[in-house]
Amino acid sequence: MNDIKVEQIDSCRWRIPRQGAMRTDGLVFASRQMMRDLRREKALEQVCNVATLPGIVGPSIAMPDIHWGYGFPIGGVAAFDENDGVVSPGGVGYDINCGVRLLRSGLSVEEVRPRIEALANELYRNIPSGVGSHRRDLKLSVPEERKVLKKGAAWAVENGFGSAEDLEHIEAGGAIEGADPGLLSDRALERGRNQLGTLGSGNHFLEIELVEEIGDEQAANLLGLFPGQVVVSIHTGSRGLGYQVCDDHLKLMQRAAKKYGIELPDRQLCCAPLSSPEGKEYLAAMAAAANFAFANRQLITAWVRESFEHVLSKGPSDLRISTIYDVCHNIAKFETHHYQGKKRRLCVHRKGATRAFPPGHPETPALYRSIGQPVLIPGDMGRYSYVLVGTEAGFGETFGSTCHGAGRVLSRQKAKKLARGRQIEAELAERGIIVRASSRATVAEEISEAYKDVLDVVSVVEQAGIGKIVARLKPLAVVKG
């Protein structure tokens, strides 16, 4: 990758000028050390590849948590004109609407710490996790599953799992418009039917956390955060259903790219014009999978509340567990942006990236409109996570996008090799972090050393002005797949 020309703009921005078949520049947010590391892998090449796609508007963007992915890099952002642009499943990923929800509580760490192990056990028992996990007490008929795919989180609320207030604090209100469940294959529907309300495996988690540090008091007050408070993060997506939707449409998109004469530097970037039948069908199927993910996190929220009530013997009015926000990390959505002085409707692909709308934006919940949209950035189970808000500068430069997490630096295989012979659960317990997981292999794959230090990532984001740090969260108990 040393043959890719990269120009440093400032301490946290790097330009990849147009070269070869690129239609636009690449823009990478990274520290000098991050860029040195990036030059040894293929992610920069993927930034260049995305820049070759038809109808791209602005640069092909990479966030500081960038690493190699399928087609697009993880940490990649690209916007496409609604008339001339394309949509690519590789720009969304297999886990459609993998995202994070953050719940605040009215509890202090002193109230929770004596029961933290019991809470971890109850959450692990109550919320299925692991490969192929499913709930035995939630059986969806095919017609009911189609309602989930259409309504998203609202379906869960209508069925007693939460309140309308939850929906007010979810990106897109917890449902992407235009979903068409009829476009999903029987296999996709079959895979999703028993997996609603489950965490899954890999890097998915449920985490009880402590608000360790406040970086912006005004924003923290509006978000309802205070030092020593107990909060809960939920990180999961559309499970096997979303995977199957992606897999099904990759086959269709490979044929569509040939049909429309789109030259691809990498077949994993297969795509179709947004205006084509294939492009419209993918977006409608993707929206259905995204709505499944919103409903999934809403159900898990209900069972988190139930678990806290059971273990702590407190009612809802005492626990005060409410949704701060819920964000997508893998999505392609139509949005209105101003670019080069013109108002344009664009399809913004965010793959391993978070929407970060600025203060005053109408899609930011009214309560938070003076500070900007909350941005939830998980780190790793052994260190910390962050809450940020979007900025006006970021809206203009990155189409209202920022990073989504720490970003892997080790493959799962290398992480397991590094963890060999170690007692990771015991190491974390010595640091006051309880882990419950369906397999030791998953814990090994998710060791802290497998990820960048998320502080380095969010520091680049804040220095660049595309996000503002509000709070740091420290893990107390982690449930892994």
The Cα–Cα gap between 476 and 433 comes to 5
Q: Which residue has the higher pLDDT, 341 or 113?
A: 113
In the three-class reduction of DSSP (H, G, I as helix; E, B as strand; rest coil), residue 71 is classed as coil
Question: Domain 99-333+361-480: which CATH class?
Answer: alpha beta
Q: Is the pLDDT of residue 130 over 90?
A: no
The Cα–Cα gap between 175 and 427 comes to 40
Q: Please report which helix (H) or strand (E) contains residue 121, including its range.
A: helix 116-126
Predicted pLDDT of residue 442 = 87
Going from N- to C-terminal start, the domains of the chain cover: 7-93+334-355, 99-333+361-480
Whether 337 is a known active-site residue: answer: no
Tell which residue, 335, 268, 364, 353, has the closest CA to residue 70.
268
Per-residue pLDDT tens for 151-184?
A: 999 999 999 999 999 999 999 999 999 999 999 9
Tokens representing 265 are: 């530097």
The Cα–Cα gap between 8 and 13 comes to 6
Residue 251: which residues within 8 A CB-CB, separation 6 or more?
Answer: none
Q: Is the pLDDT of residue 1 over 50?
A: no
The Cα–Cα gap between 291 and 172 comes to 10
Mean pLDDT computed over 220-236: 98
The Cα–Cα gap between 258 and 7 comes to 34
Per-residue pLDDT tens for 241-266?
A: 999 999 999 999 999 999 999 999 99
Per-residue pLDDT tens for 350-370?
A: 999 999 999 999 999 999 999
Give the pairing type, strands 56-67 and 74-81: antiparallel
Reported residue count of the chain is 481
Q: Is the pLDDT of residue 220 over 70?
A: yes
Residue 440: which pLDDT band, with cuts at 50, 70 and 90?
confident
The Cα–Cα gap between 312 and 290 comes to 33
Q: Is the pLDDT of residue 132 over 70?
A: no
Judged by average pLDDT, the poorest of 16-25, 108-117, 232-241, 408-417 is: 408-417
For residues 380 and 451, the answer to whether their CB atoms sit within 8 Å is yes
The dihedral region occupied by 75, where left means phi > 0, alpha psi between -120 and 50, and beta the remainder, is left
Helix pair angle (186-193, 239-259), 10° resolution: 160
Tell which residue, 474, 464, 323, has the closest CA to residue 386.
474
Segments in 201-269 forming alpha helices (H): 217-223, 239-259
CA–chain centroid gap for 431, Å, is 27
- Distances in Å between the alpha carbon of 53 and those of 78, 79, 281, 337? 10, 10, 19, 19
Q: Is the pLDDT of residue 41 over 90?
A: no
Q: Which of 169, 329, 349, 404 is catalytic?
A: 404
Predicted pLDDT of residue 136 = 57
For residues 402 and 63, the answer to whether their CB atoms sit within 8 Å is yes
Per-residue pLDDT tens for 72-107?
A: 999 999 999 999 999 999 999 999 999 999 999 999
The Cα–Cα gap between 253 and 275 comes to 14
Q: Is the pLDDT of residue 5 over 90?
A: yes
Which residue type occupies 167?
A: L
